[in-house]
Amino acid sequence: MAARILPLLKLATKVTIAGGAVYVACDSGLLGTSEQGSEALEKARAAIPPAIEEWMKYFGLEAQVPAIPKIEISPVEAWNSGVRWTISSLSEAPTKASEYASQGVQYAKDLIK
């Protein structure tokens, strides 16, 4: 009986953790607009170093925490760049397919001669 419950307990734990992560991401604005994502990034950048230092003091570690690296790219500009690239590629697909088909037909004709 316990052997059957353990996999269900593992699955429930994983689903709970994933659900909690999605909830926190939605609540903090990470899954919203690019402006909300930028604001969430700034909040995290301000909150993480003090939290790490507090935990290190709690556990008795006196090491210095390295600074968070600077992000040179603006999240607002790059937020949906993959989506834009995909839509652009899909809109060009019929033209490219026609070009490639013409080139293939021409290559086949050249081989037959």
- State pLDDT tens for residues 36-88: 777 877 887 788 777 877 877 777 776 665 666 676 666 666 667 777 788 88
Q: How far apart are CA 89 and CA 95, in angstroms?
A: 10
Q: Does the global pTM surpass 0.75?
A: no
Predicted pLDDT of residue 42: 80
Backbone Cα Rg of the chain: 26
Q: Please say if the pLDDT value at position 20 is more than 80.
A: yes
Predicted pLDDT of residue 103: 92
Q: How far apart are CA 37 and CA 44, in angstroms?
A: 10
Higher pLDDT, 12 or 81: 12
Predicted pLDDT of residue 82: 76
